[in-house]
Chains A and B, each alone.
Chain A
């Protein structure tokens, strides 16, 4: 089975710009969750997509948005980037809307905002 793949691995953007991060879920998984991991902290839940619909959202502003496609891959979009958005963005896939069996994580996209 293939794991979770994220692209790009590293990205540098300027404050105010927009960014799109991509995630391909593990084969057989229909749910994708996105997390932000700032340096020295645990992953913070951004939102989850289940069967192409948003299925839960954390305390992130509306400039963080997402999509899930029919093949269950997903995008995370961040508008009007701020310096504090610099972090590792993690994508995790699971089999159903509730992660009873845990997530499979990708290696993440390291975003630096300058």
Chain B
């Protein structure tokens, strides 16, 4: 069965620091990859997605992610975080035998110190 691992449960950064959140998935076939964000008190929102093509994907609010097939990874990055980036971030995967559903990781809570 497919699974998604997010290595960091809670990350604390100062404003303007660079961010990288790790994500690894288990499925070896063709996959679609997503990063979702959940701001405090709000619903899950799509940050970015990868289906095919350029493995470096740019999303909203200055976020980007790189798909590295050989490492089964899809890490999320941002060069300079802001206090407003405080949220829960979820990596997710879809594909193969689980084509009808998106499987989420356990999430990384990001706290930004002003």
Contact = CB atoms under 8 A, between A and B. Distances in A.
Interface of A: 4, 33, 35, 40-45, 48, 50, 55-56, 58, 90, 92, 97-103, 105-108
B99 A43 contact: no
Given A48-B100, A56-B100, A100-B32, A43 B94 contact: no
What does DSSP make chain B's interface, helix, strand, loop or mixed? strand
Contacts of B80: none
B17 interface: no
A102 B105 CA distance: 15
B42 interface: yes
B104 A99 contact: no
Interface size class of B (residues with CB under 8 A): 20 to 34
A28 B36 CA distance: 22
12 contacts: A33-B102, A40-B106, A40-B107, A42-B4, A42-B6, A43-B104, A56-B100, A58-B101, A92-B44, A102-B34, A102-B46, A107-B43
Nearest to B109: A40
B49 to A, nearest CB: 5
B19 to A, nearest CB: 19
A108 B106 contact: no
A107 B51 CA distance: 26
A45 to B, nearest CB: 5
Nearest to B94: A99
Contacts of B44: 43, 90, 92, 103, 105
B100 A42 contact: no
B101 A108 contact: no
Contact of B103 (A41, A45, A97, A103): A45
A107 B105 CA distance: 19
Nearest to B45: A105
Contacts of A45: 101-103
A42 B94 contact: no
A41 B106 contact: yes
B107 A42 contact: yes
Given A48-B100, A48-B101, A102-B49, A41 B107 contact: yes
Contacts of B90: 42-43
